[in-house]
Chain A
Amino acid sequence: MVEVQFAGEPLMLPEGDTLAAALLAAGIDGFRQTPFQGVARAPYCMMGICFDCLLEVDGVSQQSCMVQVRAGMDVRPARQRWEGPYASL
């Protein structure tokens, strides 16, 4: 087991395990908020197809089912919430 940061809190996860599976086993099920409805999503396919397990890992948005747990990694729910009209982007 190694320590990682999840949403700013320390969390012990098995080193080398798939990040998505390790987080599910740790009882976490809100991986990202959808950009429009703002509802929680969690992994669906676990094989790199659906993108519902997106997390921000060390600052880069990634499919957490394709990432292995490493000591000290900084993991946050993916920032996707859309806050205004497209015209303002």
Chain B
Amino acid sequence: MHRFDLAIVGAGPAGMAAAREAAEAGLKVALVDEQPRAGGQIYRNLGRAAKTYGAQLGKEYLRGVPLVDGINHEAITHFSGHSVWAIEKGQLALNSPEGARQIGARSVLLATGAIERPMPVPGWTLPGVMAAGAAQIMLKQSGLAVENAVLVGSGPLLHLVAVQLLRAGAPPVALVETRQRRDSRRALLMWRLMLRAGRYVQRSLADLNELRNAGIPRYMASANIALLGERRVDTVSFSSGGRRRELSCDAALLHHGVVPHVQASRAAGVPHIWSATIQAHVPVCDSWGRTEVPRVWVAGDGVWIGGARAAELSGRIAALAIAHDLGFVHSPERDRRTSGWIEERDFELSLRPLIEKAFPPYAAALAPADNVTVCRCEEISAGEVRQAVRDGATGINHVKVSTRAGMGRCQGRMCAAALARIVVQESDAKIDEIGTLNARPPIKPVTLGALAGMARQAQRPEDD
């Protein structure tokens, strides 16, 4: 078994930055990621796409170039195309098309990033309905622009994807936005934060300006959203401005915020708490990223949504703290090098409440109506979950065993938040009293053949 001082899960901004810092401090680093190339979702496929469609994707995308280049270091082994399916004391179990394997690690940094907050609305399981981020991924990875799309929901990413599709020659049909006028007022009340967030506000206004100039309609304060179609989505139905409206489309792209992807930190046994600000469960850690589980650390958007810059900084900070823990760096050096990073990271993180106030999630998709599918894998509706709670299910894992919601292949990634909200809504319990879905290995599927191959390999003498 190959052994490393540090194994990093996720090669996005946090993971790439941490890998470089740790390697420079003298650690032997494994950087594990499912994608064929480093970058995470934000800098996805950057190594190749920067030349071809960098202009459409914008300046922010190109900021990742030094990070991607930075992982070319003799002390960093990049396990690309490898998923992590178990995290145990001192070792990680990996899987790839070539088979399963284990690596040893004196410490583990989980830099698993964010996922889009699932948006269960009527019809969201129809082919042709995707997450807005999925459309962006297709643009970055394959140069494919989703045509004739209606973008539905709220958040800066909704506007950004609309602009990117427009520049790629596939102007969207419209934006159906769930923001209310009071959301803007609430954000304006946070004017001090607004001034501090100047760079982001400016960028957001530039996106809106570009959409306005292109004549893309935006329907504000939209509600009663439903996606309709027989075999695939062909209509977005909603009410806005006191009228019921229907828009024809070939695709619907949903987005109402991003949340930490916590499957790995849950499976590693890290405690999680509910964050009222970002409306999701987040792992508990200190300012360095240290968790209560020995030798397991967390960094980036998988901890707290702060964007690419905050993620990169938190990766560097965690790397230096880990290097210090393992005896590679003395504390004065750690403190000297990280103080500026901590200050800048905390500034970036402090802007989050503003974004959450200005672009709150679509309330009707947090605890959906009875007829809406919440668990896509097991095809369980919100109504079935409510019935289970009325029949006596007390916590989220109780709902899971009585309905099978959360028991499918995605292991609750797509339904955990909705299940939690429904249980709270239907019972007297508070959200931090109902538990979180248990996550157990394999956190990504692995074939029995791969497991058997790993067992054979383990019987051979050490290969390092």
Q: Which A positions have Cβ atoms within 8 angstroms of B?
A: 14, 17-18, 21-22, 24-25, 29-31, 34-37, 39-52, 54, 60-61, 66, 68
Beyond A42-B130, A47-B41, A49-B413, 18 additional contacts (C-beta under 8 Å) are A21-B141, A35-B379, A42-B128, A43-B130, A44-B129, A44-B134, A46-B130, A46-B131, A46-B133, A46-B138, A47-B133, A47-B137, A48-B34, A49-B115, A50-B410, A51-B377, A51-B410, A66-B34
Q: Which B positions have Cβ atoms within 8 angstroms of A?
A: 34-36, 41, 83, 115-116, 125, 127-131, 133-134, 137-138, 141-142, 144, 231-232, 261, 376-379, 408-410, 413-414, 444-445, 447
Return 19 A-B CB contacts under 8 Å, by A number: A17-B141, A21-B142, A22-B142, A25-B142, A29-B232, A30-B127, A31-B127, A41-B125, A41-B376, A42-B127, A42-B130, A45-B115, A45-B134, A46-B138, A47-B41, A49-B414, A50-B376, A51-B376, A51-B408
Chain B: minimal CB distance from A19 (Å): 10
Chain A: minimal CB distance from B43 (Å): 13
Question: What is the bound-complex CA distance between A49 and B127, given in angstroms?
Answer: 16
B410 with A49: CB separation less than 8 A? yes
A24 with B131: CB separation less than 8 A? no
Question: What is the bound-complex CA distance between A68 and B414, given in angstroms?
Answer: 24
A37 with B379: CB separation less than 8 A? yes
- Provide the residues of chain B in CB contact with A17, threshold 8 Å: 141-142
B414 with A18: CB separation less than 8 A? no
Question: What is the bound-complex CA distance between A21 and B142, given in angstroms?
Answer: 7
Question: What is the bound-complex CA distance between A44 and B131, given in angstroms?
Answer: 6
A45 with B131: CB separation less than 8 A? yes
Given contacts A39-B125, A66-B34, A45 and B141 within 8 Å (CB-CB):
no
Chain B: minimal CB distance from A89 (Å): 15
Given contacts A21-B138, A40-B231, A48-B34, A29 and B379 within 8 Å (CB-CB):
no
Question: What is the bound-complex CA distance between A30 and B133, given in angstroms?
Answer: 20
CB < 8 Å neighbour of A18 from B83, B141, B232: B141
CB < 8 Å neighbour of B409 from A24, A43, A51: A51
- Provide the residues of chain A in CB contact with B231, threshold 8 Å: 40
Closest to A34 in B: B379
Closest to A30 in B: B127
Given contacts A42-B128, A60-B447, A66-B34, A47 and B144 within 8 Å (CB-CB):
no
Chain A: minimal CB distance from B410 (Å): 5
B34 with A49: CB separation less than 8 A? no
A44 with B141: CB separation less than 8 A? no
CB < 8 Å neighbour of A50 from B127, B141, B413: B413
A18 with B142: CB separation less than 8 A? yes
Question: What is the bound-complex CA distance between A51 and B409, given in angstroms?
Answer: 7
Chain B: minimal CB distance from A87 (Å): 16
Question: What is the bound-complex CA distance between A26 and B232, given in angstroms?
Answer: 16
A45 with B116: CB separation less than 8 A? yes
Question: What is the bound-complex CA distance between A46 and B134, given in angstroms?
Answer: 5
Closest to B35 in A: A66
- Provide the residues of chain B in CB contact with A31, threshold 8 Å: 127
Question: What is the bound-complex CA distance between A24 and B139, given in angstroms?
Answer: 13
